[in-house]
Amino acid sequence: MATSTSRTAMPTQRSNSSRLLDKGFVWVTGAFAIGVGLVLLAIAYRVGTDSLPAIQRFGLGFLATTRWSVNDEVFGALTQIYGTLVTSFIALLIAVPIGIGVALFLSEDYLPPRIKQPIVFLIELLAAIPSVVYGLWGIFVLIPLLRPFGIWLNANFGWIPIFSTAPAGPGIYAAGIILSIMILPIIAAISRDALVAVPTEIRQAAYGLGATRWETIFQIILPAAFSGIVGGIMLALGRAMGETMAVTMVIGNSNSIDLSILSQGSTVSSLLANQFAEAGGLQVSSLMYAALILFGLTLVVNVLAELIVRRFSLKL
């Protein structure tokens, strides 16, 4: 009987402490994951409840009016919403083609690795520059540099509404350009990853059929990497809409809406940065309302990104 009991015993008996460690690990990591989600919900809840007075007072009209008067306690954020969308749009307009171009150049074998690697690193380093430094650079370098160009645009193309005002120095276009530089590394890095991930076999199949390099890139590689590239662009858009410091420093912070991109303006985030310190009462609530809208905008962008990525993602 003694032999039979030893035979039925499990070959490796795990100690209780080892099992406990396993369980504990699952619990701890689970708590971290849930905790992060809860933080998001808590922020959303706080912003939501704090903005309630403003929502009750102004309703959806808040989105459609431009008046922001602390003395009369009348608030509307159309100017800022418009500024946020326009600066982000300008940023994408510049950064998307350049970013994808950079990604293409660095994903193909144009350069030997020892030259390519440092360039990749430098571009990614752009993302590491603090935004206040971008803002300073914008004030002292970019704006003076852009001024003659803005004057020329206004003088020659002033009949187009978006160039219809004389540039005042800071303005929407300066903010858009600063933003484009800030989001460029996001688009370039994510697009490059997506392009590099396209299997070599597919590339070779295209070359094997007598496709040139350009035909291969435009007809095979870019479509195959499409979902990844869109994902990168959307991430960049989210960054552009929320970016505060650099934009606040170069946009001019005027509460007036003007189609001209040479005019001054403001964004939701620059409004928040400028006013929160001295705000009280309904103004705080209105700022919270504006923050909620920004929150909503970025949420929409992210959901859209997710949908586009799913719709076009290709099984490779």
Partner 1 sequence: MAPELQNARKTDTVFRTENLNIYYGDFLAVRDITIEIHKNKITAFIGPSGCGKSTVLRCFNRLNDLIQSFHMDGKLFYRDQDLYAAEIDPVEVRRQIGMVFQKPNPFPKSIYDNIAFGPRLLGYKGDMDELVERSLKQAALWDDVKDKLKEMGTDLSGGQQQRLCIARAIAVQPDVILMDEPCSSLDPISTLKVEDLLQELKEKYTILIVTHNMQQASRASDRTAFFNVEANAKGQRTGYIVEYDRTEVIFQSPQEQATQAYVSGRFG
Smallest gap, in angstroms, from Cβ of residue 124 to partner 1? 25
Of the pair 74, 196, the CB lying nearest partner 1 is at: 196
Distance CA 75, CA 252 (A): 19
Smallest gap, in angstroms, from Cβ of residue 305 to partner 1? 20
Q: Which residues make up the interface to partner 1 (CB under 8 A)?
A: 109, 199, 201-202, 204-212, 215, 219-220, 223-224, 314-316
Smallest gap, in angstroms, from Cβ of residue 232 to partner 1? 18
Smallest gap, in angstroms, from Cβ of residue 121 to partner 1? 22
What is the end-to-end Cα distance of the chain in Å, rounded? 59
Q: Name the token pair of 105.
A: 């150049």
Non-local (6+) Cβ contacts of 303 within 8 A are: none
Of the pair 202, 245, the CB lying nearest partner 1 is at: 202
Q: Name the token pair of 3.
A: 């032999």
Of the pair 95, 224, the CB lying nearest partner 1 is at: 224
Smallest gap, in angstroms, from Cβ of residue 228 to partner 1? 12
Smallest gap, in angstroms, from Cβ of residue 113 to partner 1? 10
Of the pair 89, 207, the CB lying nearest partner 1 is at: 207
Distance CA 305, CA 164 (A): 34
Residue 60 is classified by DSSP as: G
Of the pair 43, 316, the CB lying nearest partner 1 is at: 316
- Alpha helices in the chain, H assignment, sequence order: 2-8, 16-58, 78-107, 113-125, 131-137, 143-157, 172-196, 200-208, 213-216, 222-242, 245-250, 268-275, 282-312
Contact (Cβ atoms closer than 8 angstroms) between residue 74 and residue 67: yes
Distance CA 316, CA 308 (A): 17
Of the pair 191, 298, the CB lying nearest partner 1 is at: 191
